Amino acid sequence: MTRMRTTKTLDLPLLAMLLAIGCVEEGEAVPDDDDAQNSDVGVDVAAEHERLDDALDGLVATPPPPGTSVWSETLYADGTTRQFMLHTTAEGEVVFEELVDDRISAGPPEELLALDPCSDDAYIHTGWRWDTKLRWYFHAGSTPSELDVDAAEAAIKAATSNITGSHNSCGLADEVGASHEYLGRKSKAANINSSGNCLTSDGVNVVSFGDLPKGTLATACVWFSGGVAKEGDVQLNKADHDWTTNPGAASCSKQFSVKAVMTHERGHTFGLGHVGESSHGDLTMSPTINGPCQDSESTLGEGDVAGLRALY
């Protein structure tokens, strides 16, 4: 499995100018050329946004401070994903990098079947790790009506522990040094807006439910510098999808497991990337969530564990 990268250079000083004069809201796209800098108020923001949206195909985040990067994943219910990074250099240049998972494997059709998760040692790293505990909060006030708040909180905590404790059914011992500390409930949403854009990092790690673009299951954002994670936020889409903390119940219908989706997203938080769906689809870190009313992503495979061990 290979990862293809597309890079474009954007203009951070222009973003700062537009924010300062109120021409754009924080989290909106920034124009990608210097033409608009010739006038403080004569910027055709709509035209610049249209050009940038065409260039980046709607992938947007607030550029991070110099020397920092932000990574974003949008996870869709149909099994597709979108990933990109914005890197801000020390000189203030913003480099956009789209990450594309190549799911096409070589060989005859029988080799395209996913390997058994306990015999599949594939993993990908994203480029960061935590050098401290992940200390995080849950925005309990955002819990959708179909969920009990205590149960939702417990499922998110369990999903995080699935990663730090390398929860698996392969008989693999927990040799992962990653750790987390749940700091409780907080009246604050993740730094992700309703368009699915990563906003400005504030160093506070939050999981929340909220509105995201139609078809989106979840959006995750990680801010990092020098290979060290600084913040990791996750937002689950309650506007377009129903959620459950008991996916095995007979009454479950078209509801996605909080624990399953959050285990996948927490894998990203701790530095794991996507492995190819066609050959590695039974690993937690394959791109596709295996549908509603099931919990398979909550149990790590050999490759998921191996990737965490290599990082921690």
* Residue 181: count of CB within 10 angstroms of its CB: 11
Domain range annotation of the chain: 1-312
- pLDDT at position 41 is 41
pTM over 0.85, yes/no: no
- pLDDT at position 114 is 76
Domain 1-312, CATH 3.40.390.10 — does that match? yes
Contact 73, 51 (CB under 8 A): no
Bridge partners of 192? 198
Alpha-carbon gap, residue 60 to 52, rounded angstroms: 9
Per-residue pLDDT in tens (0 to 9) along the chain, 312 residues: 334 444 455 444 444 433 333 334 444 444 444 443 444 444 444 444 444 444 455 677 899 999 999 999 999 998 889 999 999 999 999 999 988 754 333 333 344 567 899 999 999 999 999 999 999 999 999 999 999 999 999 999 999 999 999 999 999 999 999 999 999 999 999 999 999 999 999 999 999 999 999 999 999 999 999 999 999 999 999 999 999 999 999 999 999 999 999 999 999 999 999 999 989 999 999 999 999 999 999 999 999 999 999 999
- pLDDT at position 57 is 59
The gap between the terminal CA atoms of the chain, to the nearest Å, is 23
